[in-house]
């Protein structure tokens, strides 16, 4: 009996400091790993959020960029971190949904190895053409592409852009031909130069060219009109019913992170996202502000997996 009492006392002695640390979270700097290069959209939005988390929670939230392998390097680094709330990651639709189907032998599982915290923001993709192009809508592009293969060449500067093309092919049965590019710049240069007729990219990447009148947006992948590209008709309203593709950012922690830490972060993120100045700034960055519970994020990501797995497998897309 005495041995059992001593063991219980020892376990309590170990548990109490850990419980106290969790209850006072955060009591030291927090690292947010961004699995993409500095200056990209995800990095910009994360740095802005980190500034507000620092003010609200009283400890520095520090960004660490760990780019490479489509986001897999930084995401794996987060998986290996201690589940104590002091290492987080800004996940994306690529790292926490798509990559498990696009890459063989992925070293992490987005469900088994991570705790969802909150959806931070999302954005649609935009189909755009050279301003000199005759196409004013995606429906016109599709009609021409049915009989003219040259019109069907589409620049794809990202994984999400490729999935827009694959989903459009799946829903319309039009023989579209995606041409992969490394980043927006080269893709845009070739469309502006007339080498390709169409590109699919983010509102942020295309905004300057559209404003300057050198490119024209002919469709947006949100289910309804988007404030990020006002006046542009959704593809879902151009004869491709139900068409929707969104890219998104969401905060995650390693699996096993204490629930009260998740709750603290979720509450803070939601409070931040409700501020008008924050919402306006995110819109300027090209993000529709998110929010909601950790469970809502988990349910959303699950629905995304159910949507994209069969499309990726049918198209046999691999990025190894």
Answer whether residue 70 is part of any domain.
yes
Which CATH number covers residue 165?
Answer: 3.40.190.10
- Strands of the sheet containing 215-220, edge to edge, are 177-180, 153-156, 198-201, 126-130, 215-220
Residue 1 in this model has a pLDDT that exceeds 50: no
Residue 254 in this model has a pLDDT that exceeds 50: yes
Query: Which are the contacts of 206, defined by CB distance < 8 A and separation ≥ 6?
Result: 126, 128, 184, 188, 199, 215, 217
Q: Are residues 20 and 63 in the same domain?
A: yes
Answer whether residue 154 is part of any domain.
yes
Going by C-alpha positions, the residue among 122, 120, 118, 121 that lies closest to residue 264 is 118
The pLDDT tens digits of the residues spanning 47-56 come to: 999 999 999 9
Which CATH number covers residue 280?
Answer: 3.40.190.150
Answer whether residue 267 is part of any domain.
yes
The pLDDT tens digits of the residues spanning 55-98 come to: 999 999 999 999 988 899 999 999 999 999 999 999 999 999 99
Residue 296 in this model has a pLDDT that exceeds 90: yes
Q: Are residues 225 and 253 in the same domain?
A: no
Q: Are residues 117 and 170 in the same domain?
A: no
Q: Are residues 62 and 147 in the same domain?
A: no
* Domain final residue, candidates 237, 271, 286: 237
Mean residue pLDDT of the chain comes to 90
- For the chain, how many structural domains are there in total? 2
Q: Are residues 119 and 262 in the same domain?
A: yes
Q: Are residues 119 and 11 in the same domain?
A: yes
Q: How far apart are CA 307 and CA 311, in angstroms?
A: 7
Domain that holds residue 154: 126-237
* Domain final residue, candidates 237, 269, 295: 237
Q: Are residues 11 and 27 in the same domain?
A: yes
SS (H, E, C) the chain: CHHHHHHHHHHHHHHHHHHHHHHCCCCCCEEEEECCCCCCHHHHHHHHHHHHHHHHHCCCEEEEECCCHHHHHHHHHHHHCCCCCCEEEEEECHHHHHHHHHCCCCCCCCCCCEEEEEEEEEEECEEEEECCCCCCCHHHHHHHHCCCHHHHEEEECCHHHHHHHHHHHHHHCCCCEEEECCCHHHHHHHHHCCCCCEEEECHHHHHHHHHHCCEEEEEECCCCCCCCCCCCCEHHHCCCCCCCCEEEEEEEEECCCCHHHHHHHHHHHHHHHCCHHHHHHHHHHCCEECCCCHHHHHHHHHHHHHHHHHHHHHHCCCCC
Answer whether residue 20 is part of any domain.
yes
Mean pLDDT of 240-250: 93
Q: Are residues 15 and 101 in the same domain?
A: yes
Taking the CA atoms of residue 269, residue 275, residue 278 and residue 280 in that order, the dihedral angle to the nearest 10 degrees is 140
Say how many CA atoms lie within 13 Å of 307 toward its Cβ. Answer: 19
| Beta-strand relationship, 87-92 and 30-34 | parallel
Q: Are residues 110 and 158 in the same domain?
A: no
Q: Are residues 231 and 298 in the same domain?
A: no
pLDDT of 18 reads 43
SS (H, E, C) 171-199: HHCCCCEEEECCCHHHHHHHHHCCCCCEE
Q: Are residues 43 and 77 in the same domain?
A: yes
Residues 130 and 191: beta-carbon distance below 8 Å: yes
The pLDDT tens digits of the residues spanning 198-219 come to: 999 999 889 899 999 999 999 9
* Domain final residue, candidates 217, 237, 257: 237
The pLDDT tens digits of the residues spanning 148-181 come to: 766 678 999 888 898 899 899 989 999 899 998 8
Answer whether residue 320 is part of any domain.
no
Q: How far apart are CA 156 and CA 159, in angstroms?
A: 8
pLDDT of 39 reads 85
Answer whether residue 242 is part of any domain.
no
Highest mean pLDDT of the ranges 39-53, 198-212, 263-277: 263-277
Residue 260 in this model has a pLDDT that exceeds 70: yes
Answer whether residue 298 is part of any domain.
yes
Q: Are residues 135 and 65 in the same domain?
A: no
């Amino acid at each position: 009996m005495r041995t059992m009492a001593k063991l219980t006392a020892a376990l309590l002695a170990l548990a109490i400091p850990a419980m106290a640390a969790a209850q006072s979270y955060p009591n030291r700097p927090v690292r947010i790993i961004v699995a993409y290069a500095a200056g990209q959209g995800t990095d910009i939005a994360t740095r802005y959020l980190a500034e507000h988390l620092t003010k609200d929670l009283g400890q520095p939230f520090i960004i660490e960029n760990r780019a490479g392998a489509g986001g897999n390097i930084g995401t794996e680094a987060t998986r290996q971190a201690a589940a104590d709330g002091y290492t987080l990651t800004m996940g994306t639709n690529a790292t926490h949904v798509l990559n498990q189907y696009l890459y063989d032998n992925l070293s992490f599982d987005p469900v088994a190895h991570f705790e969802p915290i909150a959806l931070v923001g999302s954005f649609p993709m935009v189909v755009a053409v050279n301003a000199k192009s005759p196409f004013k809508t995606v429906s016109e592009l599709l009609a021409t592409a049915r009989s003219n293969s040259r019109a069907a060449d589409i620049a794809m500067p990202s994984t999400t852009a490729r999935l827009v093309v694959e989903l459009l092919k799946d829903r319309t049965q039009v023989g579209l031909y995606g041409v992969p590019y490394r980043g927006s710049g080269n893709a845009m240069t070739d469309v502006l130069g007339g080498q390709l007729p169409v590109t699919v990219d983010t509102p942020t990447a295309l905004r300057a060219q559209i404003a300057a009148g050198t490119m024209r947006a002919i469709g947006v992948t949100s289910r309804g009109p988007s404030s990020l590209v006002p006046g542009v008709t959704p593809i879902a309203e151009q004869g491709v019913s139900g068409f929707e593709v969104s890219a998104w950012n969401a905060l995650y922690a390693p699996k096993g992170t204490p629930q009260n830490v998740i709750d603290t972060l979720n509450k803070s993120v939601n409070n931040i996202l409700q501020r008008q100045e924050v919402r306006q700034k995110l819109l300027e960055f090209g993000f529709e502000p998110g929010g909601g519970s950790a469970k809502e994020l988990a349910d959303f990501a699950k629905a995304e997996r159910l949507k994209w797995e069969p499309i990726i497998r049918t198209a046999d897309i691999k990025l190894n």
